[in-house]
Structure 1
Amino acid sequence: MSSGLVALFDDVAVIARMAAASLDDIGSGVATAGTKAAGVVIDDAAVTPAYVNAFTPDRELPVIARIARGSLFNKLVILLPLALALSAFLPWAITPLLMLGGLFLCYEGAEKIMEKLGGEQHGDTLDDPITDLAAFEAERVSGAVRTDLILSAEIMAIALADVAARPLVERAVVLAIVAVAITVLVYGAVALIVKADDIGLHLAKGRSAVMRAFGRGLVLGTPKVLTVLAGVGTAAMLWVGGGILLHGADVLGWHAPYGFAHHLSDAAAALVPALAGFVGWLTGAVVAGIAGLAVGVAVAFALHTVPGWFRRG
């Protein structure tokens, strides 16, 4: 009886050690995968405020919440099962699918720049008279969630690549934790950025002269920050989209474009040894952005011009 009880305790101890080891593995996987996806997370945080900018203050947080829910749906319901299935059955399809997403980002970014330069606008903007605010808000949220789907796919792909050799269940848990943590991080940061002016107004009414000055600075600075972020968001679409296409082409066997970008990054980094990492990254981002803009303009031209040729024909 006692020997059986001892054996049971031994089994429980073994299971507990295995569970602890598994948790350690999951924790290390989450940390590593999350760190490697940090670049895309920054792009995601920069892109999203453009979809919220200029809404009335009472609608800003609800709009962010709707986009965040859509982002979680993208990651947990669409991308997580798809990533696990593709990694198990069609690993070769991951790169072409990511490249399609990269094309979409390049197109979105290029179209925004073309509109800023006086090109034809496609869809309503906040400068146009809005007849149905609810429908416009829904369209805005839908656009943000579509863009998030591509950025989330890149995040999940980076995370998946780092845990691809782990067991299926562990892969699923790591990806789910990364998805939730990154969504909270990104949209928490977006909420703080968008509501910074309201926080500033509150602080400007405080008793402390320092806090009042800080509050006034937030109120005056937030519109400029949002304007800068809108530009960064557009640039992020282009450099992330262009980077996806360059890397995907390299994986599929066309090495010249990615090799050229890598060579330029290394050469630029060698010129400034003290800032080699930053200069190399910046050069790579610029090259990817130029490539993304070129591809995006070509896609936009095709989508907006070619159908007209068929109609005239």
Structure 2
Amino acid sequence: MPGGLTALLDDVAIIARAASASVDDIAAAAGRAGSKTAGVVIDDTAVTPSYVTGLSPARELPIIWRITRGSLFNKLVILLPGALLLSEFLPQAIVFILMLGGCYLSYEGAEKVLEKLGGEKHGKTVDDVIEDPVAFEKQRIAGAVRTDLILSAEIMAITLNEVAAETLVTRAGVLAIVAVLVTVGVYGVVGLIVKMDDIGLHLTKRSSRLAQGFGRGLVAFMPHLLTILSFVGTIAMLWVGGGIILHGLAEIGIEGPEHWIEGIEHGVSAIAGSAGGVLGWLTFAGLAALTALVIGGVIVFVLHKVLGVGHDDKEAAAAH
């Protein structure tokens, strides 16, 4: 009996060590994958505040919460099982899914740029008279969740690519960890950003002059911050979308565009000296964004001018 008990305890210890090692593997792989998704996370964080800009302050956090729930549903219920199935049975399809997502981001970014330059607007904005606030809020949430689905798909695909050689259990664990941490991180920051003006107003009522001054500065700065975030979000859409398309083309054998841009990047890095790393990255990001602007502009023209598809049609479909 003692021998049997000792053997059992040994087996338990072995299982515990194996489980611990598995957890360590998942954590390490999640860390590697998370660093690779930084660009898309920045995009997601920059884009989301625009969906509550101009709406009632009382509705800001409820809207963000609904977008957060939609994001978790996107990642854990739709994308995680789909990513695991693809990795098991059709891994070669991942690059094409990434490229489709890149095209969508390019389209969204190009449409925003064209609208800012005076082009035709598609769908209501906060500058228009909103006749049905409830329907408009639903439209905003549907648009945010749809964009999140694309960004989440990019995050999950990038993550999956980083852990492709791991076991199925490790892949599932990494995808789940990255999905939850990215969602909580992104929408937690977004919630903080959109309520900064309320925090500022609260500080203006404090007895401390320093707190009052800081609060007034915060209130005055917030509209500018949201404008900056809207701009950064559009640029990030184009940068991320263009980079995904260029890398995807290289993976399927069309290496010229990415290699050409990388050559310019390396040239700028060599000339710039100590600032070469930053300027080289900015060069690649800028050229990737320009590539996405061209591709997205073509998609906008085909959808709106050739096929006659309006943004209102897409929003109505999403709302229903």
TM-score by length of 1: 0.96
Instruction: Tell me, yes or no, if the aligned pair for 2:80 and 2:156 is still in contact at 8 Å.
Output: yes
What does residue range 209-288 of structure 1 map to in structure 2 within 5 Å?
A: 209-288=209-288
Amino acid at match of 1:203: L
Q: Deviations over 1:100-127 (max 9, x none)?
A: 1111111111111111121111111111
Secondary structure, counterpart of 1:272 in structure 2? helix
Structure 1 residues without counterparts, runs of 5 or longer: 309-313
User: Equivalents in 2 of 1:284, 1:152: separation in Å?
Assistant: 23
Q: How do 1:17-28 and structure 2 match up within 5 A?
A: 17-28=17-28
Structure 1 CA distance for aligned equivalents of residues 207 and 238 of structure 2: 45
Give the letter aligned to residue 261 of structure 1: I
- Name the SS of the counterpart of 1:147 in structure 2: helix
| SS in structure 1 at match of 2:130 | coil
Runs of 4+ residues deviating >3 angstroms:
none
Aligned-residue Cα RMSD (Å) equals 1.0
Seen in structure 2, the aligned counterparts of structure 1 residues 59 and 294 have a Cα distance that, compared at 3 Å, is same
Q: In the TM superposition, what is the alpha-carbon distance from 1:217 to its structure 2 partner?
A: 1.1
Matches within 5 A, 1:167-206: 167-206=167-206
Residues 138-157 of structure 1 aligned to structure 2 (within 5 Å):
138-157=138-157
Q: How does 1:81-160 map to 2 (within 5 A)?
A: 81-160=81-160
**1:240-295 CA distance string (max 9 Å, x none):** 11111111111111111111111111111122232222212111110011000001
CA contact (8 A) 2:110 2:238 kept: yes
| Segment drifting more, 174-183 vs 144-153 | 144-153
What does the per-residue CA deviation read over 1:179-198, in whole Å, with 9 as the maximum and x for residues that have no partner? Answer: 00000000001111111111
Alignment of 1:70-85 (within 5 A): 70-85=70-85
CA distance in 2, matches of 1:25, 1:294: 41
2:137 is matched by which residue type in structure 1? E
What's the % identity of the aligned pairs?
60
What residue in structure 1 maps to residue 295 of structure 2? 295
Q: Distance in 2 between matches of 1:266 and 1:147?
A: 33
Alpha-carbon distance in 1 for matches of 2:250, 2:304: 29
Q: Which amino acid aligns with 1:18?
A: A
Shift in Å at residue 89 of structure 1?
A: 0.7
Distance in 2 (alpha carbons) for counterparts of 1:222 and 1:108: 25
The amino acid that maps onto 1:227 is T
Amino acid at match of 1:5: L
Q: Which amino acid aligns with 1:274?
A: S
Could you tell me which residue of structure 2 aligns to residue 5 of structure 1? 5
Which residue pairs with 2:318 in the alignment?
A: none
- Counterparts of 1:140 and 1:202 in 2: how far apart (Å)? 28
Which consecutive unaligned segments of at least 5 residues does structure 2 have?
A: 309-320
TM-score (norm 2): 0.94
Whole-Å Cα distance in 1 between the matches of residues 26 and 246 of structure 2?
Answer: 31
Using the TM superposition, give the Cα deviation of residue 163 of structure 1 relative to its aligned residue in structure 2, in angstroms: 0.9
Aligned partner of 1:61: which letter? L
Aligned-residue offset at 1:149 = 1.1
d(CA) in 1 for partners of 2:176, 2:114: 37
The Cα offsets for residues 207-252 of structure 1, whole Å up to 9 and x where unpaired, read as: 2222211111110001100001001111111111111111111111
**SS of the counterpart of 2:307?**
helix
Partner of 2:52: 52
Aligned-partner Cα distance in 2 for 1:250–1:206: 58
Counterpart residue identity of residue 98, structure 2: L
**Larger displacement relative to structure 2 (96-105 or 287-296):** 96-105
Residue 57 of structure 1: how far off its partner (Å):
0.5
State the SS of the aligned residue for 1:48.
helix
| TM-superposition CA deviations, 1:134-167 (whole Å, max 9, x none) | 1111111111111111111111111111111111
Answer whether contact 2:39 2:240 (CA < 8 A) is retained: no
For 2:119 and 2:86, how far apart are their aligned partners in 1?
39
Instruction: State how far apart, in whole Å, the 2-side matches of 1:81 and 1:99 are.
Output: 20
263-272 or 252-261, which moves further after superposition?
263-272
